[in-house]
Structure 1
Amino acid sequence: MTRPRGRLRAAVVGTGAIAHGSHLPALADHCAEVELVAAVDVNTAQLDAFRAAAGNGVDGFTRLDEMLATARPDLVLLGSPPAFHREQTVEVLRAGAWVLCEKPLCLSLAEYDAIAAAEGPDGSPGPYASVVFQHRYGSGAAHARALLTTGQLGTPLVAHCQTTWYRDGAYYAVPWRGRWSSEGGGPAMGHGIHQMDLLLHLLGDWAEIRAMAGRLVHDVESEDVSTALVRFANGTMATVVNSVVSPHEVSRIRIDCSDATVELTHLYGHSNADWVYTPAPHAAADERRVETWRTPAADLPSSHSAQLESVLAAMRAGTRPPGSGPDARRTLEFVAALYKAAFTGMPVRAGEITSDDPYYTAMHGGHPAWAPADTAGGHR
């Protein structure tokens, strides 16, 4: 699909809180490059409220196909519930538009591969589908990744990835939450996936995972806590904790390298001030080196706006955007492997979940009931 020379045309599908609070400000930040022309929602009251907040010129639709045929957008931002993501993403791609979709992009590796089949072939100008992993973006994450991948912090040795949040019963009263068929999983799939994606973005390919999952508090189908031990391809060993039963909420990544520890502590977004570098005793005397760790070139917070900027640049260039293709699939495979390891009690290796594996088509591996009395794999 040839990209237009003028402003790109964008549409939003799903006009709830994420569209108001994140997509609308991101589009406003890039209004010189992209124009919001349409919005879609079956809830007409919610749709009207979004259009009023967006300003004049945004057409409203209750059907995705009608919007695509009438508005002919270049880019569609999907903020609908996860169960609709695969179908809507494929429909948008087949209409020739690019997609920026809220996590999870889909509910299984099988769905991901169906989306990949609807994209333009690699090396083509698209269209492509990218998943919202906004924690990868911003100057702090870019700086840390550059330091790690070039060896400036020494060899990565030990890591910790933590998403310990709190969600009450009212949160799970929303019908699609906590169900395998509509959310794809619990905090590993719907909450901790952001920090796990960032961990993979910083450390690269994972090799092996062992895990446990538990339903400790909430009366839902999926887990509300998971833990994992991970070995990366580069030898780094890591722990991962995902929870929605933790009153003191925090998102955290820590990576201990041979020359320094890098730590990120935040909740829903980070800036340079949230990244801390602690030199090892033998490296502390090199003040100039330590200062380069602590001074990124700019201070751009992580956000939907930061990720949208990269997507728009890829659209202009006609190249695959970050957070798509094999890059994003690696994160989804990691989550599927975490669930398989937890439910089978066995270690899972990268590349193990192929099309004949039950965890390829569903994160629960064919066991959606997951009775609390079943103690296999460490859950109650």
Structure 2
Amino acid sequence: MRHAAIIGTGAIAAAHAEALRAAGERVELVAVVDVDAGRATAFAQEWGVPRTHPTPAALLDAEDLDLVHICTPPRSHLPLALECLAADVNVLVEKPPALSLSEIDTLIAAERGSAGRLATVFQHRFGPAAIRLRRLVSEGVLGRSFVAKCDTLWYRGDAYFDVPWRGTWESEGGGPTMGHGIHQFDLILSILGPWQEIRAVAVRQARNVQTEDVSLALVTFADGTVASVINSLLSPRETSQLRFDFERATVEVEHLYGYTDAHWTVTPAPGHDEVVAAWRGDQPLVVSGHRCQVAALLDALDNGETPPVTLADTRNTMEFVAALYASAFTGAAVKAGEIGPDSPFYATMEGIGAPWADPR
């Protein structure tokens, strides 16, 4: 049985604990850490965790661990991940795994010198429907990809940003592009492959924050697909929507925070009814949550493979974020590979600075 620990026992930690519990005898959650000792104790009691530790260093010193789940606010992800990799422990880190491309490259360098590996929580990649869609695309069943859209239209009121680390570049790294829509466009990137160019806008329309509350990007992919990507925290009717228009079918999903097969529809092009039969799956009730990704991670560890989502995968998605901000703040199209160490958007997503009023 593998041993896991959780650092940070806030709201998202419960999803990780539930996923570990669902894995049964494959893994045991043996310890937790939190800066609030009382919260750590309460979490441990709720989830039947035998031990708490006051610091990550104490955790890594005392426990024989296969896996650490990092569930803290974004600014702390990099130093905690580096600490775990230095101890040769595998890491599963919540999104965003770092605040910039520079920090991602720091993690890549650290991973090279470690026996541990780092995976990012992008759980929507692991629902049965997404796995099936990637397979059908790779097999050519759907034909060429032409058009796609990716909408994360959510609502977060002013009270949401009362938490001190929310809505700032320094602590969160960005707005809904970085912290909310990233799940959806990571999924679309995993399906359509390399992106080529982004033209974007980002605005702060209503919330009293440093970051944007809405962004929109027009994206060209290497295979010629054109796509729109919208990330909003100002949308009272909340929804998460993806649409793919292929040569032989339109494939769509609408959900909020997690999908099952029931959320997906397939509309065949005239004369291509065979696509509907190819789509049918055998796991209709499985939700695209942390449980699916943790199971895939454990499978990889058991097989001696690198756990998904790798740092190379993550870097592609984070480069997309950096390019979106760079295009929005400079007014220019940004191509894949353009943002290197000499770019202001390499060290921080804010880059040259947002074009709106001074931060709060």
TM-score (structure 1 length as normaliser): 0.91
Amino acid at match of 2:356: A
When residues 155 and 70 of structure 1 are mapped into structure 2, their CA distance, relative to the original with a 3 A threshold, is same
User: Is residue 54 from structure 1 mapped to residue 47 from structure 2 by the alignment?
Assistant: yes
Amino acid at match of 1:141: A
Contact 2:6 2:70 in 1 (8 A): yes
CA shift at 1:311, angstroms?
1.1
Deviations 1:76-127 (A, max 9, x none): 0010000000000010011111000110000001101111111146xx9x41
State the alpha-carbon separation in 1 of the partners of residues 220 and 347 from structure 2.
Answer: 25
Report what 1:105 is aligned to. Answer: 97
When residues 208 and 314 of structure 1 are mapped into structure 2, their CA distance, relative to the original with a 3 A threshold, is same
Amino acid at match of 1:178: G
State the alpha-carbon separation in 1 of the partners of residues 283 and 158 from structure 2.
Answer: 41
Deviations 1:150-177 (A, max 9, x none): 2211111000000000001110000000
When residues 69 and 275 of structure 1 are mapped into structure 2, their CA distance, relative to the original with a 3 A threshold, is same
Q: Which moved more, 1:321-330 or 1:202-211?
A: 321-330
CA shift at 1:373, angstroms?
8.4
Residue pairs, 1:268-279, within 5 angstroms: 268-279=257-268
Residue pairs, 1:1-380, within 5 angstroms: 7-20=1-14, 22-55=15-48, 57=50, 59-120=51-112, 126-284=115-273, 288-293=274-279, 295-299=280-284, 300-367=286-353, 370-372=355-357
State the alpha-carbon separation in 1 of the partners of residues 167 and 208 from structure 2.
Answer: 9
Runs of 4+ in 1 over 4 A off after TM superposition: none
Percentage of pairs with the same residue: 47
CA shift at 1:138, angstroms?
1.6
Q: Secondary structure at the match of 1:162?
A: strand
Q: CA RMSD in A?
A: 1.5
State the alpha-carbon separation in 2 of the partners of residues 27 and 157 from structure 1.
Answer: 39
Amino acid at match of 2:168: R
State the alpha-carbon separation in 2 of the partners of residues 43 and 56 from structure 1.
Answer: 16
Amino acid at match of 2:68: V
Q: Secondary structure at the match of 1:170?
A: helix
State the alpha-carbon separation in 1 of the partners of residues 140 and 340 from structure 2.
Answer: 33
State the alpha-carbon separation in 1 of the partners of residues 179 and 49 from structure 2.
Answer: 34
Contact 1:75 1:97 in 2 (8 A): yes
State the alpha-carbon separation in 2 of the partners of residues 14 and 349 from structure 1.
Answer: 36
Amino acid at match of 1:24: A
State the alpha-carbon separation in 2 of the partners of residues 161 and 201 from structure 1.
Answer: 13
Gap runs ≥5 in structure 1: 1-6, 375-380
TM-score (structure 2 length as normaliser): 0.96
When residues 120 and 311 of structure 1 are mapped into structure 2, their CA distance, relative to the original with a 3 A threshold, is farther
CA shift at 1:49, angstroms?
1.1
Contact 1:8 1:74 in 2 (8 A): yes
Amino acid at match of 1:157: F
Gap runs ≥5 in structure 2: none
State the alpha-carbon separation in 2 of the partners of residues 265 and 326 from structure 1.
Answer: 28
Deviations 1:36-90 (A, max 9, x none): 1110001112111101111152x11121101100113110001000000000001
Contact 1:221 1:370 in 2 (8 A): no
Contact 2:198 2:334 in 1 (8 A): yes
When residues 281 and 74 of structure 1 are mapped into structure 2, their CA distance, relative to the original with a 3 A threshold, is same
Report what 1:4 is aligned to. Answer: none
Contact 2:69 2:93 in 1 (8 A): yes
Contact 2:5 2:67 in 1 (8 A): yes
Contact 2:104 2:311 in 1 (8 A): no
Contact 2:120 2:311 in 1 (8 A): no
State the alpha-carbon separation in 1 of the partners of residues 196 and 7 from structure 2.
Answer: 36
Q: Secondary structure at the match of 2:283?
A: coil
Q: Secondary structure at the match of 1:211?
A: strand
CA shift at 1:206, angstroms?
0.2
State the alpha-carbon separation in 2 of the partners of residues 84 and 370 from structure 1.
Answer: 27
